[in-house]
Structure 1
Amino acid sequence: MSLVHETPAASPEEARRHFLGKLSVETDPSDVRRDQLAGADSFLLVDVRAASAYADRHAAGAVSLPYADISPETTAGWPKDRLLVLYCWSPACNGAAKAGFRFSELGFRVKEMIGGFEYWQREGFPTEGARVGHEPVIG
């Protein structure tokens, strides 16, 4: 008995729809960094952790808007035609998912950077903030 085959695999069309749906709402640190290095400015990288966490250390080029503070007032000047790429602490954090829900309710296009800040650091990508150069920051 194969555990791999215990549940039948999806058809190629079902798999294509599934992965397209997943990729339409997710990206990863490597893709974000590659686009930053290429000068792509079609998205805004948003750190949705607490403001104090952002001040300690955040992904280079990110702006801060804690997910609990997302509202029509705090996003009034934000362009709705620019994709927002959101991140929180790690794969164990759902702050970016909460932020994605809130931003999308306000009419923004969003993607979650899977792995969050933890995987941004693990890949050795540049960070900014008061604790740059110290041990990795985790939440």
Structure 2
Amino acid sequence: MTNQQAVAWFEARLAFQTDVSDVQAALAAGDPGFTLVDTRDLAAWRQGHIPGAVHLPRAMIPVRGDRLLDRGRPVVTYCWGPGCDGATKAALELARRGTRSRR
């Protein structure tokens, strides 16, 4: 792999992913400029969630997504942690529906 290929790969990845510290800093600053979406199931949501997050499990995106989200506002999805693909699957579903999504 060339250096140019590596740079392109990392740039593409960062265009669609963020990390916990960046999300926390944006939330602490007030209006973060995105909607934070918790994609976990109801039991997990009730155990605890990030204040201000919207609860929208992936299976509910077709049913409740248009009602809960502004398509013009970027969305950041999360689930249990970096090893959980739930946030990635939800971001994909939202992107397919026309929402600007990051994981």
Q: Please give the TM-score of this superposition, normalised by the length of structure 1.
A: 0.68
Divergent runs of 4+, >3 A: none
Q: What does residue range 51-90 of structure 1 map to in structure 2 within 5 Å?
A: 51-71=42-62, 73-77=63-67, 78-90=69-81
Tell me the distance in 1 between the aligned counterparts of 2:18 and 2:47: 24
**Could you tell me whether the CA contact under 8 Å between 2:56 and 2:65 is conserved in 1?**
no
Contact 1:44/1:82 (CA < 8 Å) preserved in 2?
Answer: yes
More strand by proportion, 1 or 2?
Answer: 1
Query: For the aligned residues, what is the CA RMSD?
Result: 1.3
- Identity, in percent, stands at 36
Residue 91 of structure 1: CA displacement? 2.5
Q: Which residue type is aligned with residue 66 of structure 2?
A: A
d(CA) in 2 for partners of 1:37 and 1:53? Answer: 23
How far did 1:60 drift? 2.2
Larger radius of gyration: 1
Determine which structure has the larger helix proportion and give its number.
Answer: 2
Deviation at 1:86, TM superposition (A): 0.3
Contact 2:41 2:57 in 1 (8 A): yes
Between the aligned partners of 2:82 and 2:66, the Cα distance in structure 1 is 29
Q: 1:1-139, aligned counterparts within 5 Å? A: 10-71=1-62, 73-77=63-67, 78-112=69-103
TM-score, length basis structure 2 = 0.90
Alpha-carbon distance in 1 for matches of 2:10, 2:31: 24
5+ residue gaps, structure 1, are 1-9, 113-139
Asked if the contact 1:51–1:65 (Cα under 8 Å) also holds between the matched residues in 2, the reply is: no
